[in-house]
Amino acid sequence: MTIKNTRIVLASRPQGQPVAENYRIETEAVAKLKKGQVLIKVIYLSLDPYMRGRMSKEKSYADPIPIGGVITGESAGVVIESRSLRFQEGDYVCCPSGWQSHFVTDESDLNVYPVDPSRVPLSAYLGVCGMPGRTAYFGLIREAKPYASETLVVSAASGAVGSVVGQIGKMLSLRVVGVAGGPEKCAWVKDELGFDECINYKLGDLDEALREACPDGIDIYFESVGGALSEAVAQQLNPGARVPICGYISSYNAEKIAAARTPFDIFGELPNPPWHKFFLVFDYLAEYGEANTKLVDWVANDKIKYRETIVEGLEKAPEYFNWLFEGKNFGKLIVRVAVD
């Protein structure tokens, strides 16, 4: 029986926030496997802010998606056919499938790796135990190099990355202050995740809120947002402060991204700039095993809590993707593409 693959490709480059016309849905037959290849059925697809940058023509740390190319993305699925010695039919894996229902890949691709859904749910390997969790782990521990009792401020604290950053920070005996949007998210961050404080940025005066929550100043700021929050944090950084930057979502839909005011502008123009650096989790590829093991253990033993927004249907991924910029999701945003 011929297997059909549904894929979503880039039809045109977005100007501002993406719209339906920027995408095209295509269906194609899956080619016969060659020796060393596997066919993966995608069960869950991760939606992440970085995908918006890949839709633009400007090259950054990675080449832009070509017109007609499958939208970039990581997924979790199951091997349904194998001509590989590394993977067998029935193996669960994470892979860089992009926005499509099936994915053919070579066994030598190290970005395809096995996961165990008997320890934590399969969807968790796209969030707390996946790329966002590893970003939090390496960004805080390796980039920021925290010391006990320091004050850590976490932007997007209820999100897939920020929620893990803050919980690891508490394990390391930091004072952790989150920033999130709305009373429900702030209550979850403080009451469930154990942050010391959480600021609702929608209430207005960020400067005053940060002063009250961080009476001893800010030693580490984990940056995911940019914009007004970064401007406010910049005024309260202590000498020797560190700012690991994993993104700045407030600028991702700017019509001229290159002209947008970024955290590099905000922190770099200070009289005594803090250490600040845009880091890539891929820089730590050789150490993924360390992070994966610890994150799975922490989640399995209820030392790290997480939340997901799981939505249905690959064809609606373009609509769901904009939720990331509208604050509609709570925690990691995942599309269920197929039933396991």
CA distance 250 to 244: 16
What's the pLDDT score for residue 275? 97
Same domain for 172 and 276, yes or no, is yes
Q: Are 149 and 187 in contact (CB under 8 A)?
A: no
Judged on CB neighbours under 10 Å (0-12, 13-18, 19+), 48 is: buried
**In the predicted structure, residue 329 carries a pLDDT above the cut 60:** yes
Does residue 317 sit within a domain? yes
Same domain, 135 and 255: yes
Cα dist from 245 to 31, 60, 122, 263, whole Å:
41, 14, 28, 8
**Residue 90: exposure state from Cβ atoms within 10 A (0-12, 13-18, ≥19):** exposed
- Structurally, the chain folds into a number of domains equal to 2
Tell me, yes or no, whether 43 and 74 share the same domain: yes
Q: Of the candidates 267, 282, 297, which is a domain's last residue?
A: 282
Percentage of the chain exceeding pLDDT 90: 86
Same domain, 49 and 108: yes
41 and 115 share one domain: yes
Residues 243 and 330 both lie in one domain: no
Are 81 and 209 contained in the same domain? no
The whole-number pLDDT of residue 340 equals 82
Q: Specify whether 192 is located in the same domain as 245.
A: yes
- What residues contact residue 176 under an 8 Å CB cut-off, 6+ apart? 152, 154, 166, 169, 170, 194, 195, 196
Contact present, 337 and 312 (Cβ < 8 Å): no
CA distance 190 to 194: 5
Distance CA 99, CA 335 (A): 10
Digit-coded pLDDT (tens) for 20-52: 999 999 999 999 999 999 999 999 999 998 899
The CATH number that applies at residue 189 is 3.40.50.720
Instruction: Write the DSSP symbol of residue 192.
Output: I
What is the biggest distance separating any 2 CA atoms in the chain, rounded to whole angstroms?
Answer: 67
The strand pair at 275-278 and 308-312 is best described as: unpaired
Q: What is the pLDDT of residue 250?
A: 59
In tens, the pLDDT along 76-126 reads: 999 999 999 999 999 999 999 999 999 999 999 989 999 999 999 999 999
Start-to-end Cα distance in the chain: 20
Q: Report the SS3 class of residue 74.
A: coil
Of 8, 2, 68, 7, which is closest to residue 29 (Cα–Cα)? 2
Residue 267, pLDDT score? 94
Cα four-point dihedral sign 311, 115, 195, 137 = negative
Same domain, 161 and 259: yes
The pTM score is 0.91
Query: What is the full DSSP assignment across 166-190?
Result: HHHHHHTT-EEEEEESSHHHHHIII
pLDDT tens-digit readout, 198-247: 999 998 789 999 999 999 999 999 999 888 999 999 999 999 999 999 98
The pLDDT value recorded for residue 110 is 86
Q: How far apart are CA 198 and CA 188, in angstroms?
A: 9
Mean of all residue pLDDT scores within the chain:
94
**What's the domain range around 187?**
131-282
